[in-house]
Amino acid sequence: MGDRYVVTKANDSLPPLRWEEPPEGPVLVLLDQTRLPGEETELVCTDVPALVEAIRTLAVRGAPLLGIAGAYGVALAAVRGFDVDDAAETLAYARPTAVNLGYGVRRAAAAYHAALAGGGGAERAAAAALAEARGLHAEDAEASAAMAQHGLELLAELLPGGGYQVLTHCNTGALVSGGEGTAMAVVAAAHRAGELRRLWVDETRPLLQGARLTAYEAARAGMPYTLLTDSAAGSLFAAGEVDAVLIGADRIAADGSVANKVGSYPLAVLARYHNVPFIVVAPTTTVDLGTPDGASIEVEQRSGHEVTEAAGNPVAPLGTQAYNPAFDVTPASLITAIVTENGAISPVTASDLVALCGPSAPGHDQVMG
């Protein structure tokens, strides 16, 4: 999957992704999220196949960060003299559900080809692709800060008493973003404002992104948090211990349906039954107006061994078949609000989603055409 840097001393500012230019040539360095929280190890990707493997094995993950990684992957191919079009196609389909990945790839590839068409030559075209990747990286950080503010304002409006008990699913913090994340950026803002009473962290089976990653981030930030199995969420709602659910998204269809980590849809059903706000926080790059509805979202199916094994140890009889979708889809009717860097919409309607996202959203030209 590439070479490794083993980080022996914890570093609070260790980024999930960075571009480096050592003497032997440019590389993309990734914090290997499969090793967290026990070990901080970085992967060094010198070519696109190594990056694709890192994406497929979830060493790098989270919709916004996948878009950034895809853009840097195109730049890596260009700078190192590989076939850019082949690299772009391979990267764009490394994981099918997260729309940001293809979006980032297309932006960097378009910048590369525009520079070529302008007569700049391969070196200038590679520089243009890298500049586009860096630009997307910076834009995502800005979007993260804006979403945090909009989300905090929405919580204050919906829950005027403060002291929020928030339930979250999967991982939506700095490990998935150029900034503080999506849903976790809102949680972090609430924590800094002294308004976070408790963060409830779903384990997020089968790969435990909540237990391994969200709890890792919450602990570092000094948040009051409690880990629970996914199946325990219902009892929390019944006891009145959840004020709001905040999740991220991997793709938002034109009708407002949201694909997110499997287990999100049951939380939306629970939230509706218990009259608890269910809030989706995602940048406009995650909205795909070219996907008409939730049924049109391609849901990634992952290997059954992720369910039948734990850390390589069997937990089910040999030969057991497993159903292992990486995501599920929540209809707009169960979503209280969608928060983006441009603001929030509530209730969630197709027309308001188009107005909120503007021309930057993937698929906007298909809707407006």
Residue among 115, 99, 27 nearest 66 (CA): 99
With both helix axes pointing from N to C terminus, report the angle between 63-79 and 99-117 in degrees, rounded to the nearest 10.
30
Rounded to 5°, the CA angle 53-59-65 comes to 100
Q: How far apart are the first and last CA of the chain?
A: 42
Distances in Å between the Cα of 170 and the Cα atoms of 30, 38, 191 are 19, 18, 19
Q: 293: buried, middle or exposed (CB in 10 Å: 19+, 13-18, 0-12)?
A: middle
Torsion angles phi and psi, residue 298, rounded to 5: -75, 120
| CA gap 115, 108 in Å, rounded | 11
What is the dihedral sign for C-alpha 267, 273, 279, 284?
Answer: positive
| CA gap 212, 216 in Å, rounded | 6
How many other β-carbons are positioned within 10 Å of the β-carbon of residue 339?
A: 30
Spatial contact of 153 and 231, defined as CB atoms under 8 Å apart? no
Distances in Å between the Cα of 31 and the Cα atoms of 7, 70, 269, 275, 343 are 10, 15, 34, 39, 31
- Cα Dmax for the chain: 66
Q: Which residues are catalytic?
A: 250
SS3 content of the chain, % helix, strand, coil (to 5): 45, 20, 35
